[in-house]
Amino acid sequence: MAENKGARPILPSAEELLRAVTIYLRHAYPNDRVPAPDSLLPENGFDPAVYLMSEKAQRDPSSAPLDNVRSFSLRLGNWQYPHMKLRLSRPPNDDVFVFSVDAHDAFLFAPGGGGDAAALEELKKNNSLISSAIMNSWDADGLLTERNYLRRRIHQTRRLKTTQP
């Protein structure tokens, strides 16, 4: 995981991206109730760069060429909330992409004291539980998440310190 500043971004492999989407869908839609799974899963033999640069993914900046994209988002939703996303983001000063879940609910607000506020809090709680389950499964599966990316960087830094005079 060496810095790759200015070089071509390091995308996850097709197999890694497919595993990430499959794990996400398994947790987001219990009992195999995935709406239109064929539209959410990448096609067999897909090229990650082509797939992520297609209309299936949102990118930031939106009009950037692949080399300048900071993040990709796949709006996969969950059984209760269609706006949750699988996100691939580039950490600062690195060209790898790490997996994360964006519940995409932080901006939602309901005035306190009413049924809407309680329902919204329940929705956010459910989104958080789903997000945590997805992230834990990705970690267990060896996919590069924010959490294990940071662990690897810390270990690299420690190794460098112990090998330098």
d(CA 50, CA 45) in angstroms, rounded, equals 11
For residue range 39-80, list pLDDT tens digits in order. 778 888 899 999 999 999 999 999 999 999 999 999 999 998
Look at residue 34 in the predicted model and tell me its pLDDT.
78
Residue 20's domain comprises 14-163
Q: How many domains does the chain have?
A: 1
Does 83 fall in a domain? yes
- Give domain status of residue 140, yes or no: yes
What tokens were used for 113?
Answer: 């004291």
pTM for the model = 0.83
Residue 25 neighbours by CB distance under 10 Å:
20
Domain membership of residue 138 (yes or no) is: yes
pLDDT level of residue 156 (50, 70, 90 thresholds): confident
Q: How far apart are the first and last CA of the chain?
A: 22
In a domain, 7, yes or no: no
Q: Is residue 39 part of a domain?
A: yes
Question: Is residue 149 domain-resident?
Answer: yes
Q: For residue 41, what are the contacts with CB-CB under 8 A and spacing of at least 6? A: 18, 21, 22, 25
* Residue pLDDT, tens place only, 6-35: 568 999 999 999 999 999 999 999 887 877
Q: Looking at the domain assignment, is residue 36 inside a domain?
A: yes
For residue 106, the tally of other CB atoms under 10 A from its CB is 9
Distance CA 124, CA 70 (A): 26
